[in-house]
Amino acid sequence: MADQPPPYAGPTASSSEPSDDTKPAVLIIGGLGYIGRFLALHLHKNNLACSIRLVDKVLPQLARLAPEFLDACSPSNFLQADASREQSLAKIFTPPASCPRKEYTYVFNCGGETRYSQEDAVYKARSVELSVNLARECARRKTPALVEFSTGQIYKPPNSSTVKSGGCKEDATTKPWTKLAKYKLFAEEELEKLRKTEQLRYVVLRLGHVYGPYDMGYLARGLCLAKVYERKREEMKWLWTKDLRVNTVHVEDVCAAALHAAKWCASPAADQEPAGLDKRTFNIVDQGDTSQGTLTTIFSQLFDLKTGFQGSLISSFARFNMESVVDDVNEEILGPWADLLKDHGITDSGPLSPFMEKELLRDCDLCLDAGRARRVLGWKVEGGREALTVEGVRDVLDSYRRMGWWP
């Protein structure tokens, strides 16, 4: 059986640094992805692990790592492998010779397909099979904690009363509204089956839109769009309303939540929870209840730009003709974006693009209640990041400039 960490003491536990002989050995699947690299950095700079192993299909030299990640994601910590292939698992789960433990204490699954609007077979192979293979191996090795990253897009879009009361809780009705979320829910359900049949110790984090330095997700698309509309000197009009929720969380707070969740999962406290997927699940968002109105206000302060919303007639048309609307928008913005890059001598804009996915433009509230994570795990947002702010988004833009990505 894998070496056990010290018992979880709950939210009031001492925050003093553990001794070397009690620090966990950590395995991060998808370790060079956005969350994976920040998690490695968090562990490394705070000296929270006796050993860190990053597994990814992409080599560090090709991962566009900013300088602050180079030590945490160094070749000595890295293993190139495809964790969705069963034949790779023995190599992946064997700690390096320098590790003082025989098995990994915590396994974080940051891997899987993160692109939207892919074919079903892509999500089945790269997300569901990956999660299930890792979970079976963790169950076989009696790993104390497997942390699975999921999305709040799995919930049925909440009604207005749920939004006003704080958002979806973990036991809310599930009805995924993106294809990516549909397969994340499949994976979650398979993990719960393995908990029942093979005593898998796991926990799921359902995330809002994750942002932070070098962001390459939802916020990044919006920023690129704003830059294009600024160049065109046109008003940036959004679909739907200012009240549509697009809840957010900073990547550093995601990393803290993941460590809290792993400690809880490996402790007797997790065994005291009643059975059920919702009891192994935690929503992770900040307290800002970010909406489209939040974003328009911030963008108008950061860019020489007017922002507003389309009328109900255009929004109604878009609801029933989303594919053609998105195609028109992409045709309108991709050319000016390319011109912006050319004018500023940028030949590689990294992961940045204003290309819009129709799944992300749906009239669906991403509105989550993270009260359970704060109450049960003792997790909280740190560093003044309780809400998305102008300063927080400016930090994202500054990170793009440091990498030479931003026009």
* C-alpha torsion angle, residues 127, 199, 194, 81 (rounded to 10): 30
Which pLDDT score, from 0 to 100, does residue 20 have?
61
Backbone angles phi, psi at 180, to 5 degrees: -55, -45
Q: Could you say which residues of the chain have pLDDT below 70?
A: 1-21, 311-314, 317-320
Radius of gyration for the alpha carbons in the chain, expressed in angstroms and rounded: 21
Amino acid at 206: R
CA distances from 406 to 128, 224, 400 (A): 35, 9, 5
Tokens coding 4: 């056990």
Tell me the per-residue pLDDT of 218-245, one tens digit each, with 9 for 90 and over: 999 999 999 999 999 999 988 888 999 9
Nearest to 50 by CA among 8, 7, 114, 103: 103
CA distances from 28 to 52, 53, 215 (A): 8, 6, 19
Tokens coding 296: 């328009």
Tokens coding 399: 């990170």
Which pLDDT score, from 0 to 100, does residue 13 have?
42
Strand-pair category, 236-238 with 307-309 = parallel
Which of 251-279 are b and which e, b meaning 16 or more Cβ less than 10 Å from the residue's Cβ?
bbbbbbbbbbbbbbbbbebbeeeeeebbb
Tokens coding 123: 């999500």
d(CA 343, CA 339): 6
Nearest to 370 by CA among 295, 273, 289, 271: 289
CA distances from 168 to 164, 187, 188 (A): 10, 20, 17
d(CA 274, CA 281): 12
CA angle (255, 258, 262) in 5-degree steps: 145
* C-alpha torsion angle, residues 354, 358, 210, 273 (rounded to 10): -170
d(CA 25, CA 53): 8
d(CA 249, CA 212): 9
Tokens coding 51: 């050993």
d(CA 215, CA 219): 7
- 3-state SS assignment for residue 385: coil
Which pLDDT score, from 0 to 100, does residue 327 have?
85
CA angle (322, 328, 334) in 5-degree steps: 125
d(CA 288, CA 387): 4
CA distances from 51 to 27, 181, 196, 346, 391 (A): 8, 32, 30, 38, 34
Tell me the per-residue pLDDT of 304-339, one tens digit each, with 9 for 90 and over: 999 988 766 667 766 667 778 788 888 889 999 999
CB 179 within 8 A of CB 185: no
CA angle (238, 151, 23) in 5-degree steps: 135
Which pLDDT score, from 0 to 100, does residue 317 have?
66
CB 169 within 8 A of CB 245: no
